[in-house]
Structure 1
């Protein structure tokens, strides 16, 4: 009877959530966004703990350090590496963006001029199969519209950087919370087990704790796997573009690498932006960008990705895209990044329920 009541409660609660979402979509999304903002320090804390924990285990188990010293040294190593990378990459990106903003109107005019010359050449050779006036009108409208849009995009990028700086305080709160999570992880697991024991049997409480550990493993492997594969893809793209002397090589490589953090959708969006950028700066060299992205995606899809990501994901491309779209609509870029492991956990719960029902 008790089990049936619990099941009825959860089904009813789920139906209420679905009905609320369908009837009050904008309000529901707004409330979810506010809840997400309020728990952001805890999300940072979990993310940092997941990122640093493997290094802590190495220092603690292999080198036999005390946990407090292992945590401190791990944080120093990770943040030193990230800071060093930022000092190398960020100034170059800022320089590229500044240069791009200054040259963007001239690039568009050059593109318009080259297109006009191409149309004249095709007309002269009697190879023109479209209306040049219509193309010219559309191109002119595109230039007039997008010069302002690109400036707004640049200013929006600057505003985003400012918001990121303002969020540093929230991030450091997350760092301090992550220290407690890593230092007292046994306490938190025991506390969680006792919470489970209040509502269920000892056996089920232990199962719940093991489930939490399994979820932690899924997120850990996914996040670390995405970081490694995206870094490799970005590096491969940068090396190819650098060898081919393609302008804005670092900026394009960073965009492709960061975009690769979001499965499928991110790569397409980042590749499209990078393509548009290279077309404006050096149209003929866009071929090298395609080659670089193809090599990077081949390395990701056939060499690194299957070895690193297969165990942590194990989900079809269709459901991965659905996960990215659904979670992204609620939680933005972070939701798009973490949507896949969330759906993997849901899949894991579904399989566990089927197995328990068949027993």
Structure 2
């Protein structure tokens, strides 16, 4: 009888999860604004505290942060949109050039006696699809910038009530100090993740910009911004961000520069992702690499491109929540990287 009850409970939890996921997907436009507001506010709250520690009045510090954020967003939006418009206008030219480069390579291989069907290869390599995918992806990023006003309002309210939230948590957890300390530790780790990730993403974008200027690749600002943004997507983000600039280098016909550019991208991403980030971030995430990969697919399906950017912090939040109760602790264990935990102890 007890075993039957447990099975019923699992089906109940599964049905509840399906309903919640369907609700989030249906309300994804609102959820995206909410999540972006919360996570950006978590970064800004750290800088707000720094300004307050330096005896800057809270209201002035608050206005300074929102002003700086507004300027940065407008600049990024303007640069992405202007570069994207120029890039889209030149797409037919780029497609012609890249097909010409492919034909040259095939002709070079055929000189060694190999028989290759050029038409079939060009048909298989659907560059129109790739470029449409690229512009669609960049268009989604531009659409995120268009929601900036609503995100700003959300950030403003969250920051203004940050102190009040602390008081509310003390009232909620007044009889459970362990939960309050766990929540504070989680908030600190989440904030640390975003600050470190923003810093390393900025370095990634900066180094990419310098490299592209050095190799004289078109639209260096656009690809640097893409490198900055896509560094927030683990596993595949840095690979996707490198493709457009490498293809542009390839169609110039200078294959030596293309090889060097691939090496530079690899060095930048490996150094920052495998050396700098672990050094500054530590092992607070504790998420399984498999879980990180599938969380990208899952949250990307639910929330689109923004879901991929926020996949890790959302999954980390769920992991902490599951670990906080005995009934769902096993789910938290499944999401965890046990090798990381052993290293800690």
Shorter-normalised TM range:
0.7 to 0.9
Pick closer, same or farther for the CA change 1:331–1:195 going to 2, 3 Å. Answer: same
Distance 2:12 2:314 in 1: 21
Pick closer, same or farther for the CA change 1:153–1:260 going to 2, 3 Å. Answer: closer
Whether 1:244 and 2:231 are equivalent positions in the alignment is no
Alignment partner, residue 38 of structure 1: 30
Distance 2:218 2:197 in 1: 27
304-313 or 290-299: bigger deviation: 304-313
1:262 paired residue among 228, 233, 239: 233
CA contact (8 A) 1:246 1:288 kept: no
Whether 1:136 and 2:119 are equivalent positions in the alignment is yes
Whether 1:102 and 2:89 are equivalent positions in the alignment is yes
CA contact (8 A) 2:300 2:306 kept: yes
Pick closer, same or farther for the CA change 1:275–1:67 going to 2, 3 Å. Answer: same
1:328 paired residue among 280, 294, 300: 300
1:259-290 deviations in Å (ceiling 9; x for gaps): 11111121222223443343234452321321
- Aligned-partner SS, 2:232: coil
Distance 1:269 1:316 in 2: 22
- Aligned-partner SS, 1:132: coil
Kindly tell me the number of residue pairs found equivalent between the two proteins.
323
Alignment partner, residue 253 of structure 1: 224
2:282 paired residue among 301, 306, 310: 310
CA contact (8 A) 1:51 1:220 kept: yes
Distance 1:348 1:34 in 2: 25
Distance 2:288 2:137 in 1: 35
CA contact (8 A) 2:101 2:251 kept: no
How many Å apart are 1:128 and its aligned residue?
A: 3.6
Alignment partner, residue 46 of structure 2: 54
Whether 1:112 and 2:99 are equivalent positions in the alignment is yes
| 1:1-359 to 2 correspondences below 5 Å | 15-19=11-15, 29-61=21-53, 63-83=54-74, 85-86=75-76, 90-91=78-79, 93-124=80-111, 127-129=112-114, 131-133=115-117, 135-139=118-122, 141=123, 146-147=127-128, 150=131, 154=135, 157-158=138-139, 161=142, 164-165=145-146, 167-182=147-162, 185=163, 187-196=164-173, 202-204=174-176, 206-282=177-253, 284=255, 285-348=257-320
CA contact (8 A) 2:213 2:220 kept: yes
Structure 2 residues not aligned, in runs of 5+: 331-345
Alignment partner, residue 3 of structure 1: none
- Aligned-partner SS, 1:203: coil
How many Å apart are 1:233 and its aligned residue?
A: 1.1
How many Å apart are 1:55 and its aligned residue?
A: 1.6
Pick closer, same or farther for the CA change 1:235–1:331 going to 2, 3 Å. Answer: same
Query: Which has the larger helix fraction?
Result: 1
Distance 1:267 1:30 in 2: 30
